[in-house]
A and B are shown apart, each in its own frame.
Chain A
Amino acid sequence: MIKKIIWYTVGIIFVLGLGFFAYGFKNAISIGNAINKEPNNIATTEEEKIDAFEADSVLVIGDSLARGTGDLTGKGFAGYVVEGLEKEKGADIPYYNIAIEGLKTQMLLSQVKEPKMAEGIRQAGIILISIGGNDLRAMTKTQSEEKLSSFNEAMRIFLDQLDQILRVIRLENEKAMIVFLGLYNLDYSATNAINSEYLLEWNHATQKLIESYEFTVFTPTYDLFKLNLEDYISQDGLHPNTKGHAAIGERILINLN
């Protein structure tokens, strides 16, 4: 009796298993060879849009902040600026946001140097830039003994690259209004005093560089976030939330008027 039970159980498991596994095995082999069904033409339409820059457009370049990360509506501060300008002008304003998350100054420099960027810069009436946060954060994260010297080195490189970026922009477009966003602090407490000091120095040096060019404005955010940190920072603890983005946008609008 037991013999029979064992024999039939094993037999049934084997036959059933073989059936299932034949199906699974066939799938496993074919999985790598199948073609991605999703359409890929979303990318090309966006490329085309960038190729056809229009005059007096708003161009947004830089890091995730410029991209709009943290804003649930996805507009970002740049989106609010454009909305504000459109309301004032009563017409649509062409708007190109080509900021990339995690971008550092070095990468922005190579981005603006790309040939296809030249047309975009030439057509722009307003250029919004947010860059440097990733460079500074990478530096302050390190716990090195010679923090001061590494900070000075990082800032020197940053200023040099930013200078080159501005020069490339000015080469193509002498009249566009350049709005540069200052950095805000993520921790204003006394325990972070050293990093706060670095940040202030960084902002100050950046502002001086920006001011050395014509038709530029340095928009600080340090003061904006100081007393509103809880309210303005999104849940990732790094980017502004919807309110924060709106506040930055509003401030830039006031500057532009």
Chain B
Amino acid sequence: MKRLVNIVKNEILKIFYKKRMHVITAILFIVIILFAYGEHYTLSKAQERAAVQFEIENEEEWKNILELQLADLERRLDSAYIPDRGKASIRVRVEQIKFYIDYDVNPISSSVARFMGRLIEQSIFLFLPLLIILLAADMVSGEMTFGTIKLILTRPVKRWRIIMGKLLALSMLEMVVISMIALLSYLIASMVFSYSGFNEPVVTGFRVLENQLDTSAVRTIPQWQYLLMVYAIAYFVAFVIGSLSLMVSVMVQSTSASIGIMMSTLIGGSFLSLFISEWKITRYFFTTNLNLTAYLTGDFQIVEGLSMSFSILVLLGWSIGAIIIAFIFFTQKDILS
């Protein structure tokens, strides 16, 4: 046990000495700043448009419009001609509007919490996996490239311990990356958006029933709870991508090959699942299932048989498979100079 901990510690320090985390932090910093600026810009434009449309001259008038909408929705709830399925979504809308009125929040404006959620929702299927590939792709192949693998393997440590150590170190660093995204987006968003909004209600609870989006179970949860969910999902995705990258890293000799293979698989896979969604086998691709947060927000494309639990199982299958292959390959491998 002590030996394994030492290996993990050693692997983590190696990553830090290679300045890998610095690069990732720098990329994150730039991307988040750009994203925050873009979000701010889009929203201020939307506000201006809305102000023109509703002929609003001062802030106070927002409330009148919201109250009008509220009265309207509440009347709709009383109507016998709206099916129960529709009523659930009206009810959550009512809840949201009441919150905006009670807390004096302009609905067309972003908050720190909303930004943090949007960032991870947008990056979970491409940007986050790319960062993880950057982190994981050279864990083993890097040792081959520089020849340090021989130094490691001549030590009296079992091979499975080494690869286990690498896997654990990777899992820990993935957590660091996710926390970094959360921290950086929180700090940057706090400077751009004035309202923190961690208690604001978020709509979630969408399901697919008989191939249709079922909104009868929608409800609101506070934003902080939602954030916890999406960041947890992001960590899961990072873990899956990490295990796949580790497997590729074990199998090829050079880091660039390993990064290249993972990136092309990721991008090619998303293309495939986008264009040939009719073909049923694409739902078993890991790329098709990466966008897990969409199941929470309800803006997913409805594909028969695809659901949150299905996607999680598929991803889990891929990652377990990848880990097993990586272990077998690494322990059986012949190291040639």
Q: How many residues of B contact A (CB 8 A)?
A: 59
Residues of B within 8 A of A13 (CB): 172, 175-176, 179
Interfacial chain A residues near B81, Cβ < 8 Å: 98, 100, 111
Contact of B87 among A22, A29, A40, A72 (CB under 8 A): A40
Given contacts A7-B13, A68-B75, contact A36 B88 (CB under 8 A): yes
Number of A-B pairs, beta carbon distance below 8 Å: 139
Q: Determine how close the nearest CB of chain B comes to the CB of A60; give it in whole angstroms.
A: 12
Give the CA-CA distance A19 to B314 in the complex, in Å.
Answer: 24
Beyond A13-B179, A17-B235, A25-B229, is A47–B80 a contact (Cβ under 8 Å)?
Answer: yes
Contact of A235 among B54, B76, B84, B204 (CB under 8 A): B54
Q: Does A1 contact B (CB under 8 A)?
A: no
Determine chain A's interface SS by DSSP, over half rule: helix
Residues 180-235 of A contacting B (Cβ, < 8 Å): 234-235
Instruction: Give residues of chain B (260-312) contacting chain A, Cβ–Cβ below 8 Å.
Output: 292, 295-296, 307-309, 312
B324 contacts across to A, CB distance below 8 A: none
Check A236 against B9 for contact (C-beta < 8 Å). Answer: no
User: Knowing A32-B206, A32-B295, A100-B81 touch, does A24 contact B232 (C-beta < 8 A)?
Assistant: yes
Interchain CB contact (< 8 A) of A21 among B77, B87, B231, B309? B231
* Interface membership of chain A positions 35-48, coded 1 if the CB is closer than 8 angstroms to chain B and 0 otherwise: 11110101100110
Residue of chain A at shortest CB distance from B61:
A235
Counting chain A residues whose Cβ lies within 8 A of the other chain, the interface size class is 35 or more
A11 neighbours in B (Cβ, 8 Å): 172
* A142 lies within 8 A of chain B by Cβ: no
Minimum distance in angstroms from B228 CB to a CB of chain A: 4
CB-based contact B205/A31 at 8 Å? yes
* Majority-rule SS of B interface residues: helix
Chain B 71-87 per-residue mask, 1 if CB under 8 angstroms from chain A, else 0:
11011111111101001
Residue among A6, A28, A47, A67 facing the most chain B CB atoms (10 A cut-off): A28
Residues of B within 8 A of A237 (CB): 53-55
In the complex, whether A143 has a CB less than 8 A from a CB of chain B is no
Contacting residues, chain B, for A27 (C-beta < 8 A): 225, 228-229
Enumerate A108-160 residues with CB–CB distance to B below 8 Å.
Answer: 111
Which chain A residue lies CB-closest to B234?
A: A21
- Is the beta-carbon distance between A14 and B176 smaller than 8 angstroms? yes
B216 touches A24 (CB 8 A): no
When chains A and B are docked, how far (Å) is the Cα of A235 from the Cα of B71?
13
Q: What residues on B are CB-neighbors of A6 within 8 Å? A: 12-13, 16
Q: A-contacting residues of B (Cβ < 8 Å)?
A: 9, 12-13, 16, 53-55, 61, 64-65, 67-68, 71-72, 74-82, 84, 87-88, 91, 171-173, 175-176, 178-179, 204-207, 216-219, 221, 225, 228-233, 235-236, 292, 295-296, 307-309, 312
Given A21-B236, A36-B217, A67-B79, output 6 extra A-B contacts at Cβ < 8 Å. A10-B12, A11-B172, A17-B179, A38-B219, A100-B81, A235-B64
21 contacts between A and B (CB under 8 A): A20-B228, A27-B228, A28-B229, A28-B232, A28-B296, A31-B204, A32-B307, A33-B207, A34-B205, A34-B219, A35-B217, A36-B217, A42-B77, A42-B87, A43-B87, A46-B79, A46-B80, A67-B79, A72-B71, A98-B80, A235-B61
